[in-house]
A and B are shown apart, each in its own frame.
Chain A
Amino acid sequence: MTPLLSVESLRVAYGSPAGERRAVDDVSFSINPGEIVALVGESGSGKSSVGLATMGILPDNARVGPGSAIRFEGRDLLTLPEPAMRDLRGRRMAMVFQDPAAALNPVMRVGDQVAEVALVHGERDKRKARDTAIDMLTRVGLPDAATQFRAWPHELSGGMRQRVMLAIALLLKPALVIADEPTSALDVTIQAQVLRLLVELQREFGMAVLFITHDLGVVAETCDRALVMQRGRLVESASVDALFHAPQHPYTRELLAAMPRLDRAP
């Protein structure tokens, strides 16, 4: 199978007055169509930088090292001009962030933010864009979507806002969704609901998911494969079953040992 995404020797460094700080150091991996792959690491491991580099939305002080390549559907995203990237974002690949309150526009009705994706990508008929948005908002479980279409982000709970983010990401059925800690800010019961929804939608639409997270519990529940990052480097890549039952790298073993587990045996 031709991989959908292949990241090759990716290096990312951030410049500051104090000098350059290397965030991603020679990271290579690929994702097949329809796969859910976890990118696991603690804060500062560089996992989010990989996601931002793939989407082409690294901050201005970031520099991608020579020899890096990110191939997606046959093209190297790192050499693609911005208009072509803009066409891919939202249509072929989309991103969901940890904090939907920060990611959503606070002064735009949530439905308009969903419909905007269709309008930006060539839909001329506003009514049609609106109907598509309502359908998707219904699909992600926003109750009474036709009315809630007109809600402001602040009127929704954290879980509902993240459902709106999923609707925005999935509206045009992209081939790849990058989800960066999409449930880390949510309460556990809401987290379980949103994860269940994400998995359902993945099954229905068949997109690949790069699931960026620090939470191994979430990885065990949802992913096919996992990549473990530590201080900018990829230290282990394995199926989730192998990762949890036969971890190879000492850091993976340390992460697993530290994972809070529930012991429910009476």
Chain B
Amino acid sequence: MNPSASLVSVRDLRVVHQRAGFGPVRHVVAVDGISFDIARGDTLALVGESGSGKTSAARALLRLIETAGGSISYDGIDLLALRGEQLRVHRKRMQVVFQDPYSSLNPRHSVGMIVGEGLVVHGLAHGADVEQRVVQLLEEVGLGADDLQRLPRELSGGQRQRVAIARALAVDPEFLVLDEAVSALDVTTQAQVLALIARLRDSRKLTCLFIAHNLAVVQQVATNIAVMYRGRIVEQAPAAQLFAQPSHAYTRALLDAVPAGDPRQRRIRTPTAAT
């Protein structure tokens, strides 16, 4: 891979959580020296089960939590060296959509306020322009002017996630982190939101980091896939190659655990054993 084409370059990233409780403070190594690159316009899927460290890695990359080692280069900038105003200005370039829009959207703020806030904070629109811009954004994610005054609780799960996406896009970012962004949705809604994400990525030429636990969901959107297990990346490959020829035993176990979705190809309750 040509390194100059990478928007994001992560080297030997470490994240250590402190667990306070009864007795001495415990240190848990959540991310244990991982490295990856994301080329402009690509989508890297970081896949793993609970506790694998995938969310900690994403949060470190967003500078939401502290790192314990390693480096993160973003468009040639040393991301870990940014402080104060520099960091605040930089945040405009990278945005995030979380798993649960119910807890990540302020329940007392209207859809218009939620989506418009970033525009105001980053000085991207003023006065009447804000509402006009918000309506454009809502239309881009399949909502509209009718939704401006609604509160999060008046929306369905899929609509809330569309609002979270519109909020992320409001500051016109080039890099989007999707942290289990479709995992909590019903399957029919999940398919619609995935299609929306793929469409927006193409139309806005976004670079994405897609965090997920389900390889079947990732297959539709990822250019490259990194499989995490206990804080480490055990396999990293272009998506097509990983699905066709998984090289690590854990990747194969993950793939084998995904139901085939056809009763004629059962692996769990096989006809021979079902007598």
The residues of A with any CB-CB pair to B shorter than 8 Å are 36, 42-43, 158, 187-192, 195-196, 199, 203, 214-218, 220-223, 240-241, 244-245, 254-255, 257-266
Knowing that A191-B257, A221-B267 touch, tell me 12 more A-B residue pairs with CB under 8 angstroms: A158-B50, A216-B261, A220-B263, A244-B264, A260-B219, A262-B219, A262-B258, A262-B261, A263-B219, A263-B243, A264-B244, A265-B244
Nearest A residue (CB) for B192: A258
B263 touches A240 (CB 8 A): yes
Looking at B27-35, B66-74, B199-207, B210-218, the stretch in contact with chain A turns out to be B210-218
Nearest A residue (CB) for B194: A260
Interface centre among A188, A214, A217, A245 (most CB of B within 10 A): A188
Set B50, B215, B220, B262: member contacting A244, Cβ < 8 A: B262
How far, in whole Å, are A244 and B265 apart by their CA atoms in the complex?
11
B103 within 8 A of A: no
B258 touches A255 (CB 8 A): no
A188 touches B254 (CB 8 A): yes
B154 within 8 A of A: no
Interface residues on chain B, size class: 35 or more
How far, in whole Å, are A263 and B256 apart by their CA atoms in the complex?
12
B187 touches A216 (CB 8 A): yes
How far, in whole Å, are A266 and B260 apart by their CA atoms in the complex?
16
Please provide the 5 A-B residue pairs with the shortest distance between their CB atoms, ordered closest to farther: A217-B259, A266-B244, A260-B216, A187-B49, A258-B191
A217 touches B258 (CB 8 A): yes
B259 touches A220 (CB 8 A): yes
B157 within 8 A of A: yes
How far, in whole Å, are A199 and B272 apart by their CA atoms in the complex?
13
Nearest B residue (CB) for A199: B269
Set A189, A216, A260, A265: member contacting B254, Cβ < 8 A: A189
A259 touches B261 (CB 8 A): yes
B153 CB to nearest chain A CB (Å): 13
B113 CB to nearest chain A CB (Å): 25
B126 within 8 A of A: no
B273 within 8 A of A: yes
How far, in whole Å, are A223 and B262 apart by their CA atoms in the complex?
11
A192 touches B268 (CB 8 A): yes
B159 within 8 A of A: no
Nearest A residue (CB) for B273: A203
Set A43, A217, A264: member contacting B157, Cβ < 8 A: A43
- 20 intermolecular pairs with C-beta atoms under 8 Å apart: A42-B187, A42-B189, A187-B213, A195-B268, A203-B274, A216-B261, A217-B258, A217-B261, A241-B263, A241-B264, A244-B262, A245-B264, A254-B188, A259-B187, A260-B187, A260-B214, A261-B216, A261-B260, A262-B215, A263-B219
A258 CB to nearest chain B CB (Å): 4
- Residues from chain A with a CB closer than 8 A to the CB of B258 are 188, 217, 262
- Residues from chain B with a CB closer than 8 A to the CB of A158 are 50
Nearest B residue (CB) for A266: B244
Nearest A residue (CB) for B184: A43
Q: Mark B152-196, 1 if CB is under 8 A from A, else 0.
A: 000001000000000000000000000000000011111100000
- Residues from chain B with a CB closer than 8 A to the CB of A223 are 263
A264 touches B187 (CB 8 A): no
B253 within 8 A of A: yes
B266 within 8 A of A: yes
Q: Which of B76-107 contact A (CB under 8 A)?
A: none
A221 touches B264 (CB 8 A): no
How far, in whole Å, are A131 and B96 apart by their CA atoms in the complex?
52
- Residues from chain B with a CB closer than 8 A to the CB of A192 are 256-257, 268
- Residues from chain B with a CB closer than 8 A to the CB of A260 are 187, 190-191, 214, 216-217, 219-220
How far, in whole Å, are A230 and B211 apart by their CA atoms in the complex?
30
B4 within 8 A of A: no
Known: A42-B187, A203-B274, A220-B262. A188 touches B213 (CB 8 A): yes
Interface centre among A223, A254, A261 (most CB of B within 10 A): A261
B255 within 8 A of A: yes
Known: A221-B268, A262-B243. A42 touches B215 (CB 8 A): no
A255 touches B187 (CB 8 A): yes
A84 CB to nearest chain B CB (Å): 34
- Residues from chain A with a CB closer than 8 A to the CB of B264 are 241, 244-245
A218 touches B259 (CB 8 A): yes
- Residues from chain A with a CB closer than 8 A to the CB of B215 are 188, 262
B244 touches A214 (CB 8 A): no
Nearest A residue (CB) for B215: A262
- Residues from chain B with a CB closer than 8 A to the CB of A262 are 215-216, 219, 243, 255, 258, 260-261
B187 touches A214 (CB 8 A): yes
A221 touches B187 (CB 8 A): no
Nearest A residue (CB) for B241: A266
B48 CB to nearest chain A CB (Å): 9
How far, in whole Å, are A223 and B259 apart by their CA atoms in the complex?
13
